[in-house]
Amino acid sequence: MTDFPDTSPLSGQLTGKRILVLNWRDIRNSQAGGAEQYMHEISQRWVNSGAKVTWFTSREEHQPAEDIIDGIRVVRSGGPLSLYGKAALKMLRTRNDFDAVVDCQNGIPFFSPLFLPREMPIVQLIHHVHQDQFRTRFSAPMAAVGRLLESAGAKAVYGRRAIAAVSPSTRLELRKLGFSGSIHVVPNGTIEVPHTVGPRDPEPTVAVVSRLVPHKRLDLLLGQFAIAAGSIPKLRLEIVGDGPERPRLQQLAMDLGLDDMVTFHGYQPNHVRDSLLNRAWLTVSTSASEGWGCSVIEAAAWGVPCLALRVPGIRDSVVDGSTGWLVDTAAEFGPALVAALQTLSEQRLAGEMSARCQEWARCFTWERSANLLAGVLLEEEALRRGGIEPGVSSSDMSTLVHFDLPAGASLETILRPTDEVSEHQGRVSVLMKGRDEFEAFAVMRRIGVVSAELRAVGRSTLLAGPGSTFTPADAVEGM
């Protein structure tokens, strides 16, 4: 069982602080999705810890100009594009009303440093990079403007201010764009992991929870599913979710002769979604790219592994060989689907993988996400007031340290707000962000620790945190 004692409740250190969140939608917007849920879940926990959180966001016709949602003050104005000008004016008028800002970028930055005091702690929150999406959704001139704003424009305005990215993949994409400041990984939380799961359907069943939009590429899935159906008798595919692609996908399923094997459930409430996941053998993803695989981790919470294409975001949420399988090309997907279902037909192997999936999902709680993002804000605040040396944590390296704390020693003298701490049965584990093994060892010596286990961490350990007992099946990780 993963043990996450709350040894560093950083959300509590935000008590009394006035925090501004800039996001293009709020949780009650008809187009709200995972990005809105992420920041709403965290904001709600900050409010419960004593912070005062205000959102500036766009307004749909049916929405009031101001609202209180779960203790969060929501101020709405403008449409999907005019919002940015409206938010700029609001920031200029209220520039001294806040203590810190979370600037959520969804392709188009708010450019908040232009409108707020220079000493204001501002953290950019980025789910994924939109450079390729601009090309597919806008005209060539508009796409060029979008790419410029997201890259060169953002670098010029935000400088080396801290960024919170939801996955190592997003951090890597930002590095490719030339962002050189601190980029901290703050993954999503997920649903509560059930104590018991199953029984699974007697027939091989694949469940997919997804918006039916082009970049999810469910047409690719249907084509590969048709290949697998020729080898796996009584194979079924349950698709939960809705979107503009639904009519075309339903027609494609009929054209492929899959109409008796594929069920389109449309949008369903959580209990129906969970029931379908609980009965499934496998979930899948053929998405082109994600910031993070929210539906993958939700399925893992029900003990359901995932077969997916090895793309940004998804390659972080699926631990290859442990909680599912990753393939490199679409042509490999159909044969890999057959192989995965054959493996899961063996009860012992299916049970072992189900247990690893649940252990993985336990690593991701909204309480942890709220503490991690609070740590990024607090570190940026300390940097602004000169409490931390500039650029001190701009490295993407992290080190996991296990040790016994000497009597009278204090971790507070060596920890940064973005470090994670766990203590279990007297043994302390610290995930030191932005430090290599040599730097971590030097830090340990400062508090009298002369014997410690130190190792550089890869993607899975960084995401799981120091209190996790999750270990990839092959114990090999990469970034």
Q: Which domains does the chain have, with CATH numbers?
A: 10-185 (3.40.50.2000), 205-361 (3.40.50.2000), 395-479 (3.30.70)
- Mean pLDDT by 10-residue block, N- to C-terminus, for the chain (479 residues)? 45 92 94 91 96 97 96 95 94 95 91 95 91 69 76 88 94 92 94 93 96 93 96 96 95 95 95 96 94 94 97 95 96 96 96 96 96 95 71 78 85 88 86 91 88 90 88 51
Residue 324's SS3 state is: strand
Res 12: pLDDT: 82
**Residue 178 buriedness (CB in 10 A; 0-12 / 13-18 / 19+):** exposed
**What does the radius of gyration of the chain's CA atoms come to, in whole angstroms?**
23
Between the two ends of the chain, the Cα-to-Cα distance in Å is: 25
Res 34: pLDDT: 87
Dihedral sign of CA atoms 26, 72, 293, 100 in order:
positive
Q: Which residues of 339-359 are buried (b: 16+ CB within 10 A; e: fewer)?
A: bbbeebeeeeebeebbebbbb
> What are phi and psi for residue 142, nearest 5 degrees?
-65, -40
Q: How far is CA 256 from CA 243, 282, 340, in A?
A: 21, 21, 22
Res 384: pLDDT: 79
Both tokens of residue 70?
């779960």
Res 476: pLDDT: 41
Res 102: pLDDT: 97
Res 382: pLDDT: 87
Measured CA to CA, the distance from residue 279 to residue 177 in angstroms comes to 42
Side-chain-side CA neighbours of 253 within 13 Å: the count stands at: 19
What is the amino acid identity at position 406?
P
Residue 144's SS3 state is: helix
pTM exceeds 0.85: yes
> Within 207-293, where are the H helices?
218-229, 246-255, 270-279
Res 330: pLDDT: 94
